[in-house]
Chains A and B, each alone.
Chain A
């Protein structure tokens, strides 16, 4: 009992103490005199807990790891899968971002030039040194891609389609050794030929047809355009001259140019399924880079001028069609024609002869001229046409329409081109033979065009449907030559 009484006493004291502590702590709250006690406890036991925790944690974790091993294994697999998936989607997103930027740029370029472009991705590439440099794109005849169409991207010219299946097409790059592209030097009417030199497209060889023309590094080159825009539409930026070869005593001058388009890193490309109805060059080139714009503008005038006369006749034929078609391009064309044409014509004639002399130009010129013609035609208007028109008796009906055309052209041309070309060809073809000589004298491009014109006559007769074949024939020639 004594024990129990003592025990009760102890208990009573302890409980009283506990209650006092409780009460004090409760009443005084933060000001509790037991704050230091609490702090001391926190300090001591905190240290002990940390130490003990650091010692025991590994064991705990080990035990936990063992216990969770099966689940952890699944978890790891799941996470790895998820990781891979996320990484893939991240990469895909980055690719998509880059691709959309390229698309945007290319569409901008196409819009400027009035090209109708089918976009495609490069799905394969051949580029063994010394062999063909060609790419496979994932657009084919089902998308409107046909052989001898221009391939470009947001930076500039890439090449031309040489064959197409329903879903894919093969394009030869301008860097291919067998490729020859009609080109024009910015700031003037000087024309030349761009050859690939292999090297994966790091350089292009630009042969200027006029040995006396100024040729300096930094000069920009744009595509000259081919007849009917096949295989090359005019006005597409090609590259910048990096160095000029000394070729004393030769008839041509040679320079090496760096292509605008990175031919070693192609992804999004566009196939021009319809050349600009008008002068795409002006619109296309200037827009891209400011410097280019200036240059191109300077260069354009001559071209246009040159083209204009010839084109006038053609235009007459074209215009009616254009008007009918009611193209969207109008905005660009109007401004260009007036300014560019007048200055150009005079200069063109002089320059033209040189181009003709070169054999290479042949392949180009057909295509190039056609493109220019379109452009030129519109701007030139009826004024130039008279001489030509006369030659082309057939066209006249169209020519009559010409008077009307001026108003209609601006709007119609862009969209119209495809149809317009055929007509032009048809119109021109009869006169083409007669005209060609005179035109040839004026400017090379035209001569080529004339050549194209010669081909055209048949086309015309056959009508638009026939043309493709005619083009193909031309194209094939061009290719063969190249």
Chain B
């Protein structure tokens, strides 16, 4: 429940605040991915997959939307599952792997459904920048999950 609220709040913040900031490069960090990763690490792969799916669906439905429904839900479900599995073994690697994986997955999926917005330029310019920005914020998640994860990691 807490995780769901966290993700919901994150999605809102992402859309209302973060996406409105104008950062160099024209891209913004992806807080939703970080939240999903954090919650998934605390709740395990199944819950992580569900949380990710729901968060992705929410993000797909959120007003400023122009992409296909289910695109982000797919990506975040995968990321949530992998993060719940403890990808890479440690918190740091899990978060970093998730953060790097998410945009690549999204781009790959977009490419699969021949989304005209997914181009080589997207892969070379936007995706790396997005990953970089998100990684800059990832220590917060690492620190939070470091404190809260231990008890919940087992499940």
Contacts and interface: CB of A to CB of B under 8 A. Distances in A.
Contacts of B85: 4, 7
A15 interface: yes
Nearest to B76: A18
Interface stretch (B24-32, B44-52, B92-100, B120-128): B44-52
Majority SS at the chain A contact face:
helix
Nearest to B71: A22
A21 B73 contact: yes
Interface stretch (B9-17, B133-141, B144-152): B9-17
Interface stretch (A43-51, A151-159, A202-210, A287-295): A43-51
Contacts, number: 100
Contacts of B113: 22, 26
Contacts of A49: 12, 15-16, 63
B118 to A, nearest CB: 14
Contacts of B12: 45, 48-49, 52
Interface in B1-47: 12, 15-17, 20, 44-46
A306 to B, nearest CB: 86
B44 A17 contact: no
A37 interface: yes
Interface in B64-79: 65, 68-71, 73-74, 77-78
Contacts of A34: 69
How many chain B residues sit at the interface, stated as a range, is: 20 to 34
Contacts of B81: 7-8, 10-11
B103 interface: no
A7 B84 contact: yes
A25 interface: yes
How many chain A residues sit at the interface, stated as a range, is: 20 to 34
With most chain A CB atoms within 10 A of its CB, the pick from B15, B46, B84 is B46
B49 A7 contact: yes
A130 interface: no
Interface in A172-220: none
A262 B40 CA distance: 88
Contacts of B84: 7
B68 A45 contact: no
Contacts of A22: 68-71, 74, 109, 113
A3 interface: yes
Nearest to A37: B61
Contact of B70 (A7, A21, A41): A21
B63 A25 contact: no
Contact of A18 (B48, B56, B62): B56
Nearest to A3: B44
Contact of B46 (A3, A21, A41): A3
Given A4-B45, A17-B73, 6 more contacts: A10-B46, A18-B70, A22-B109, A37-B69, A38-B65, A40-B61
Interface of A: 3-4, 6-8, 10-11, 14-15, 17-22, 25-26, 32, 34, 37-38, 40-42, 45-46, 48-49, 52-53, 56, 60
- Name the 7 nearest CB pairs between A and B, nearest first: A41-B61, A21-B70, A18-B74, A7-B45, A7-B46, A22-B70, A11-B81
